[in-house]
Structure 1
Amino acid sequence: MAVGRIIKALSGFYYVQSKEGIYACKGRGVFRNKKITPLVGDFVEFDIRNEDEGYIMKVKERSNELVRPPIANIDQVCIVNAAVSPDFSPLLLDRFLVLVESKHIQPLIFITKMDLVPSQEVDRLKEYQAIYKNLGYEVKLLSSKEPEWITEIMPYFKDKVSVFAGQSGVGKSSLLNLLDPDLYLETAEISKSLGRGKHTTRHVELLAIGEGLVADTPGFSVLEFSDLEAEDLGVCFPEIRTQMQDCKFRGCLHDKEPKCAVKEAVANGSIAAFRYNHYLRFLEEIKSRKPRY
């Protein structure tokens, strides 16, 4: 039995990379009965049938997984935001951060298209960069006119499986093309009428970049907290996580309760008001979610 990692799933085949090469594999019929769906990133045991084909016999236990995009065993998520076109959105960034934190995956923040930002807006973006850095996040401001940043961020990918995530049109594929010009990933212009990018990436695939593996994933714009409970939301905000132990009541949701350490921290400025407002917005969203039966 051979062992490998699924690096691409396409048209019913799972492409498994092992020491011997890449094999186009089918899943066992029993997987469907057991509701097992192999994912890109999975470590699997497979039976080689001929020189480049095989059957996946077992999917090994995952350290984590994402549903959209469907991928497993991720070390870090590179959240790509555009500075302009589409405009930088702290709300959207925080939505991505909460989803990544809830899966216990390390986030890395890239803000692209800095060369297109009017000079008066640069300072505002640097203020956001400082706020997120103080929370323990790596934040890189990237400009296609200053390619030296490529060598600066390459070490982040070494020996890691990274996922690039972000709404369509923020430049994920363009960024990957800059990191490895041999990829020539299909890119598309922003649709001016919609203010969104076209979905140019149609499947999930792990690509070898910078001594690691990077997944280029379909752009997506609907990010729901379907698996997150209200009492777990605060843990996904590092600044709330550190304060919540000082709240008077156990199970404090930091919105209406008295003697809440988090609300005090917002009042004295040690928690950014915009982050707390996003927390309240997400909390309301989770509370108003329809129950699933």
Structure 2
Amino acid sequence: MQGVITKGIGGLYFVKVEDKVIECKARGKFRYTGLVPVIGDKVEIMLETDVSKGVIEKIYARDTEMIRPAVANVTQAFVVFSLKKPDLNMDLLNKFLVLCEHYRLKIVLCLNKLDLVDKVDENLVQELRNVGCDIVFLKAKEGEGLSELKAKVKDNISVFCGPSGVGKSTILNSLLGREAMKTGDISKKSQKGKHTTRHSELIEYEDGFLLDTPGFSSLSLDFIEKEKLQDCFPEFEKHGSECRFSNCMHYKEPNCRVKEAVDSNEIYADRYKFYIKTLEEIIARGNKK
């Protein structure tokens, strides 16, 4: 029987097979191969004598694989940030965008708490659209914008990601019409969200799956190879092929078309500065090893 792992707790895996969920253990052989089943894996299982339980016999090749959270075959990311409480942090947003590009995910940027601002910064919106973001504006508590998100779920495994307190769990619960994940308050002292989601689970919805993840406020990108970082900035692609050197990293090389595009405002300077900052951090960590 074939199915998808929707939840894993304490060495037990819950596999969705057609219209039922079967509790499974993994064969011991996986320990020796280093391949550990994760949420989102497409697997083959064999039922035990008790037909409500089974054993995972095979894990199929993964189309995508995320490290944090550990989840396979995600196709789409709902990157959730709030416009206020907490304020929009562009460095943190860029980190999430780079991670999603690294994992080859379709990005839907969800800007929540629209009701807390007088007006949206149109220059910022244009900048984000120019780097390939599909943007949805939300008032999650009022339900505004949810129908637009709902239409994007079909045939995808969609991960909710973003810092704490921006409304990820509120959005998920509003979509489902029930409290699938607990929501928390904003810390008055730090204006950051409290961590409320304790585990990850795939939830079947609208011919697709939704995944809520624990919130976190800082991300490291140092696992990305320095030569591969530029691939996470889609706006570089059309200019990079015109650089003097085929292996140009758009850093200190002469005759770099990407740097020229920054100077002529074809590429946003702030994004390029973030790229250089991240590249230098990756290089510095590599030199320390």
TM-score (norm 2): 0.94
Task: Report the Cα distance in structure 1 between the residues aligned to 2:217 and 2:138, rounded to whole angstroms.
Answer: 22
Name the CA distance, whole Å, in 2 between partners of 1:35 and 1:197.
Answer: 35
Give the letter aligned to residue 177 of structure 1. N
Distance 1:63 1:144, change over 3 A: closer
* Structure 2 residue aligned with 1:123: 120
Give the corresponding residue for 2:251.
Answer: 255
Aligned residue number for residue 106 of structure 2: 106
Out of 179-188 and 268-277, give the one that drifted further.
Answer: 179-188
For residue 176 of structure 1, give the secondary structure of its aligned residue in structure 2: helix
Aligned to 1:93: 93
Q: 1:287 to 1:92 in 2, by over 3 A?
A: same
Could you tell me how far apart the structure 2 residues matched to 1:11 and 1:246 are? 52
Match of 1:283 among 266, 271, 279: 279
Equivalent residues in 2 for 1:130-279, closer than 5 Å: 130-144=126-140, 147-279=143-275
1-structure distance, mates of 2:55, 2:19: 15
Secondary structure of 1:183's counterpart equals coil
1:4 lines up with 2:6 in the alignment: no
Question: Take 1:47 and 1:63, find their aligned partners in 2: how far apart are those partners?
Answer: 23
Letter in 1 for 2:143: P
- Sequence identity, in percent? 40
Deviations, residues 70-112 of structure 1 (Å, cap 9, x unaligned):
1000110111111111111121111111111112111111011
Whole-angstrom CA distance in 1 between matches of 2:110 and 2:136: 5
The CA deviation at 1:190 is 1.4
Alpha-carbon distance between aligned partners in 2 of 1:148 and 1:114, rounded to the nearest angstrom: 9
Residue in structure 1 matched with residue 80 of structure 2 by the alignment: 80
After TM superposition, give the deviation of residue 208 of structure 1 in Å.
1.9
- What's the counterpart of residue 52 of structure 1? 52
Structure 1 length normalisation: TM-score?
Answer: 0.93
Contact 1:115 1:144 in 2 (8 A): no
Aligned partners of 2:13 and 2:24 also within 8 Å: yes
Check 1:145–1:66 CA distance in 2 against 1; reply closer, same or farther (3 A cut).
closer
RMSD in angstroms over aligned alpha carbons? 1.7
Question: Residues 145 and 28 (structure 1 numbering): CA distance in 2 closer, same or farther, change over 3 Å?
Answer: closer
**Deviation of 1:288 (Å):** 1.1
User: In the TM superposition, what is the alpha-carbon distance from 1:137 to its structure 2 partner?
Assistant: 1.8
Q: Which runs of 5+ in 1 are unaligned?
A: none
- Report Cα offsets for 1:168-220 as digits up to 9, x if no partner: 11110011111122234211101222332222111110112233110011112
Cα drift, residue 264 of structure 1: 0.7
Equivalenced residue count is 288
Q: 2:33: which partner in 1? A: 34
Residue ranges of structure 2 left out of the alignment (5+ in a row): none
1:120-167 residue CA offsets vs partner (Å, 9 max, x unmatched): xx232x322222212322011212365342222211001111000011
Three-state SS of the structure 2 residue aligned to 1:187 is coil
- Counterpart AA for 2:140: S
> Contact 2:111/2:135 (CA < 8 Å) preserved in 1?
yes
SS of 2:93's partner is helix
